[in-house]
Amino acid sequence: MKNITDLFSQSYKPFKALVFYQNEKDNLYVESYDMDALGKPINAHPFSQRESKALSESLLAKQENSSGFLCSTGLLSDQVLYVDRSVDGYAIWYTPEMKSHLIFKSDLGISDGEAYLPPLLWKASKRGLSLWALGNNDRPKLETKLYHAPFFNLYADGRVCMGNVIVKFSLNIDLDGFISQWKKLYFGSAFSHLLQDVSPVKGNIVQLWQQQIGTESPFPNSQLKKFPKLLKDIIR
């Protein structure tokens, strides 16, 4: 049984009241009142979009926190580094060097195929993904240096442009499913172009992947460009 003793020792004061009006056609009109120091309603005004958004986000946060969103169904993987389950929650994890199948738009002149990738750092919410590279396979720490991920479709700050890929997650998705689904979304979409015409690697990125696809060569980490922030800087 849940212990609710603390609730009785907390002081709750009214700060907002809503009155719903309904006409004979079942149309609704909502009026908002602020509350004075004595708990009396004052400053009657139509319920604004700003107030409506704040109420919606608050209710959504409570719904997500009571659901399985980003919960773990077992022990946390060693690759999981940070989890925030708030309304705009996100997870941060890393993947050691691995081989993956990559897809490219035909006009890049790079064949689809498997290639080794450098260790990667992932930060994902239910709305978007950011990606960086790491210098080695060690489990990252707060002071770990980051590098630009050596891929197309990336902004300079690490955000991934997903194009027309539909990103939608259930409020009940657990942490393992969330991570797995983001990996499938990312590697299941085609790399198409550089954003802002800035290469994320030191050399020619097209030539780099032309040389790597279909080989057993490890990714040349010497080609990675340093990112101006540490891991601790991307945890907000």
The tens-digit pLDDT sequence of the chain (236 residues) is 444 444 444 566 787 888 888 887 777 788 888 888 777 888 888 878 787 777 666 656 555 444 556 776 667 789 999 998 776 789 999 999 999 999 999 999 999 999 999 999 999 998 899 999 999 999 999 999 999 999 999 999 999 998 877 788 777 788 888 999 999 999 999 999 999 888 999 999 999 999 999 999 999 999 999 999 999 999 97
Residue 57: which region, alpha, beta or left (left: phi > 0; alpha: psi -120 to 50)? Answer: alpha
Please name every residue paired with 148 in a beta bridge, in sequence order, or none if there are none: 132
* Burial group, residue 23, by CB count within 10 angstroms (0-12, 13-18, 19+): exposed
